[in-house]
Amino acid sequence: MDKVIIFDTTLRDGEQSAGASLNVPDKLKIAKQLDELGVDVIEAGFPASSPSDFEAVRTIAREIRKPVVCALASATDKAIDVAWEAIKEAKHPRIHVFLSASDIHLSYQLKKSREEALETCRVMVARAKSYTDDIEFSPMDASRADPDYLHQVLETVITAGATTVNIADTVGYATPQEFGNLIQGIFSHVSNISEAIVSVHCHDDLGLAVANSIEAITRGARQVECTVNGIGERAGNASLEEVVMVLKTRRDFFHLNTGVDSRQIYKTSRLVSDLTGFPVQPNKAITGANAFRHQSGIHQDGLLKRAITYEIMDPRSVGFPSSSLVLSKLSGKHAFRERLAELGYNLQEDVLDRAFRDFKVLADKRQEITDRDIESLVAEDLRTATEVYHLDHVAVSCGNYSLPTATVRLIGAEGKSVADAALGAGPVDAVYKAINRIVGVPNKLIEFTIRSVTEGIDAIGEVLIRIESDGVTYTGRGADTDILVASAKAYMNALNRLLASRQTGREN
> 89 with 126, same domain?
yes
In a domain, 493, yes or no: yes
In a domain, 428, yes or no: yes
Indicate the range of 68-77, 297-306, 456-465 predicted with least confidence: 297-306
Among candidate residues 219, 220, 202, the one with its CA nearest the CA of residue 211: 202
> 339 with 479, same domain?
no
How many whole angstroms separate alpha carbon 68 and alpha carbon 92?
5
Given a cut of 50, whether residue 10 has pLDDT beyond it is yes
In a domain, 287, yes or no: no
| pLDDT tens, position by position, 20-62 | 878 899 999 999 999 999 999 999 999 999 998 999 999 999 9
Indicate the range of 55-59, 316-320, 332-336, 390-394 predicted with least confidence: 332-336
Given a cut of 60, whether residue 326 has pLDDT beyond it is no
> 411 with 356, same domain?
no
> 208 with 66, same domain?
yes
- Supply the CATH number for residue 192's domain: 3.20.20.70
Sheet order of strands, 461-469 included: 444-452, 461-469, 472-480
> 191 with 247, same domain?
yes
Q: Which of 357, 383, 409 is the endpoint of a domain?
A: 383
The predicted model scores a pTM of 0.81
Q: What is the DSSP letter of 263?
A: G
- Supply the CATH number for residue 431's domain: 3.30.160.270
Q: Which of 348, 365, 383 is the endpoint of a domain?
A: 383
pLDDT at residue 382, as a whole number: 66
Count CB atoms within 10 A of the CB of residue 148: 9
Q: CA end-to-end span of the chain, whole Å? A: 44
> 149 with 23, same domain?
yes
Rg for the chain, CA atoms, rounded: 25
CA distances (Å), origin 485, targets 238, 440, 497: 37, 20, 18
How many whole angstroms separate alpha carbon 319 and alpha carbon 450?
26
Residues sharing a CB contact under 8 Å with residue 5, sequence separation 6 or more, in sequence order? 40, 41, 197, 199, 222, 223, 224, 258
In a domain, 80, yes or no: yes
Question: Dihedral sign, CA of 317, 323, 327, 332?
Answer: negative
> 17 with 109, same domain?
yes
Q: State which residues form the domain around 405.
A: 390-507
Mean pLDDT computed over 469-485 = 88
Mean pLDDT computed over 317-334 = 71
Q: Looking at the 3D structure of the chain, how many domains does it have?
A: 3
Given a cut of 70, whether residue 132 has pLDDT beyond it is yes
Higher-pLDDT residue of 349, 240: 240
> 334 with 425, same domain?
no
| pLDDT tens, position by position, 176-187 | 999 999 999 999
| pLDDT tens, position by position, 60-100 | 999 999 999 999 999 999 999 999 999 999 999 999 999 99
How many whole angstroms separate alpha carbon 44 and alpha carbon 52?
12
- Residues facing residue 462 across a β-bridge: 451, 479
pLDDT at residue 221, as a whole number: 98
Given a cut of 90, whether residue 355 has pLDDT beyond it is no
> 394 with 374, same domain?
no
In a domain, 256, yes or no: yes
> 65 with 22, same domain?
yes
Given a cut of 50, whether residue 323 has pLDDT beyond it is no
pLDDT at residue 411, as a whole number: 93
Mean pLDDT computed over 352-381 = 76
Mean pLDDT of the chain: 90
In a domain, 298, yes or no: no
How many whole angstroms separate alpha carbon 147 and alpha carbon 189?
9
Please report the DSSP string for 10-33 in residue order: TTTTGGGSTT----HHHHHHHHHH
In a domain, 311, yes or no: no
Count CB atoms within 10 A of the CB of residue 220: 14
Residues belonging to the chain: 508
Band (269; pLDDT cuts 50, 70, 90): very high
Mean pLDDT computed over 273-299 = 81
Band (335; pLDDT cuts 50, 70, 90): confident
| pLDDT tens, position by position, 183-227 | 999 999 999 999 999 999 999 999 999 999 999 999 999 999 999
In a domain, 308, yes or no: no
> 131 with 151, same domain?
yes
Q: Which of 383, 407, 434 is the endpoint of a domain?
A: 383
Higher-pLDDT residue of 437, 505: 437
> 10 with 68, same domain?
yes
